[in-house]
Amino acid sequence: MIGPPEAARAIGARLRALPPPVLDLAPAVVALVAMVVARLAADPGPGRHLPFAVALSVVVAGGLALRRRTPVTAYAVQTAALAVESLWLGPADLTPLVNLMGLYSLGHNADRRRGAWGPVIMLPGIVAYFARSDAPAVVPAAVVFLWLLVWAAGYTAARRREEQAGAHAEAQRQLRRDAVTDERTRIARELHDLVGHTVSVMLVRVGAARVILDRDPDQARGILRDVEESGREALDELDHVLGALRPDDGRARADDAVDGPPGLAAVPRLAERMAGTGTTVAVRIEPPADALPAGLDRAAYRIVQEALTNALRHGRARSVAVSARCDGRHVELEVCDDGAGPPPDYRAGRGLLGIAERAALFAGTVEHAARDGGGFRVRAVLPLP
């Protein structure tokens, strides 16, 4: 059996599924029928004022139908009809209750500034209703107090709804700002790794070409050709990184589909680039790079690239050993060089911080320190998903 709470929720769901015009018109029709029946019960004869009374009831009930589209105007017209009815035909029993519903709707549906007009519009209607009454003064005062409570309930509910909507909108804006910040950070990290490594290698090799240009022009030209090729490869990678900044026009680039972002399989190419700088790079990768998820594979490549850049730029290493091992649960990356090593009080710079950030994206860890025999060692462990 369905209990009362479940039945109430089911009825509420069916009502919310109705079109808004139906939801607005239904209480107005019910109120109109009730007011006409009450008027006929109070004055069973046809009476010459009956058509006018019905017309006023239509106006009062019509205010409910317009309570969400024009809440202030609807309640003002409704209150005017209540005043005319009370002064000309005498106070009715149900008209004030319908007017009270309109007052609540005004506070609930109007904005903060327009909703404050509720008590101002309410007072003339109450004064007119009790103008021909001999009730003690405490009765109109109690009615005013009750009407104000009902208006305050609707007005407070509306302000709470606005605050919740504003908080939700602010949360959405903050999420968008965070997403933009994260994307900018990612792009900045990619550009730092790419440009830093490539420019460092190119500068060293161009310097070497300048030194031997007069003595061995052919070798110098060969070095410059390698530098040119490295620059073109760097431009291709740069175009791939900056592609995230372009609006998506629905057309996939052919080179992205074929080559994709670099991974550990491209590490030997990094070693070839550094060969012309006088630094020997030994690479050992186990297992093949295509066994790794694409995102982790790319992060591993960038970590190795940044570690090699640091070995060349800061350590001035003559040899570097790169290893990548996978035991089925983790990918372990290690880059060791025989360079000058860090000073005793060194602090991680932008490059090492970028390595740590990349590892953190995959819940990985990074260690870096001077080697006992000289040089520097960077070790990163990335868990496999």
CA–CA dist 252, 242 (Å, integer): 14
- Domains delineated in the chain: 4-134 (no CATH), 177-245+259-383 (3.30.565.10)
Q: Which of 88-97, 173-182, 192-201, 331-340 has the lowest mean pLDDT?
A: 192-201
**pLDDT tens figures, 128-182:** 999 888 888 899 999 999 999 999 999 999 999 989 988 888 888 888 787 777 7
Q: Say how many C-beta atoms besides its own lie within 10 A of residue 47's C-beta.
A: 13
- Indicate whether 336 pLDDT > 60: yes
On the 0-12 / 13-18 / 19+ scale of CB atoms within 10 A, 206 is middle
Q: What is the mean pLDDT of residues 305-324?
A: 85
Higher pLDDT, 159 or 89: 159
What is the predicted pLDDT for the residue at 152? 95
Q: How far is CA 263 from CA 193, 259, 270, 331, in A?
A: 13, 10, 11, 13
- Indicate whether 110 pLDDT > 80: yes
Confidence of residue 253 (pLDDT cuts 50, 70, 90): very low
The secondary element (H helix, E strand) that includes residue 376 is strand 376-383
What is the predicted pLDDT for the residue at 4? 62
State the pairing for strand pair 376-383/365-370: antiparallel
Q: Measure CA of the first residue to CA of the last residue in the chain; give whole Å.
A: 47
- Indicate whether 199 pLDDT > 80: no
State the pairing for strand pair 319-326/280-285: parallel
- Here the contacts of 111-115 (C-beta below 8 Å, separation 24 or greater) are 112/158, 112/159, 112/162, 114/71, 114/72, 115/71, 115/72, 115/154, 115/155, 115/158
The reply to whether the predicted model has a pTM over 0.85 is no
Q: What is the mean pLDDT of residues 342-357?
A: 80
CA–CA dist 275, 291 (Å, integer): 27
Q: How far is CA 57 from CA 54, 74, 170, 276, 321, in A?
A: 5, 14, 44, 95, 92
Q: 49-61 burial string, b = 16+ CB within 10 Å, else e?
A: eeeebeebbebbb
- Indicate whether 8 pLDDT > 70: no
Average pLDDT, rounded, for the chain: 81
What is the predicted pLDDT for the residue at 298? 85
- Indicate whether 335 pLDDT > 90: yes
What is the predicted pLDDT for the residue at 17? 63
Positive/negative CA dihedral, 153, 159, 165, 171: negative
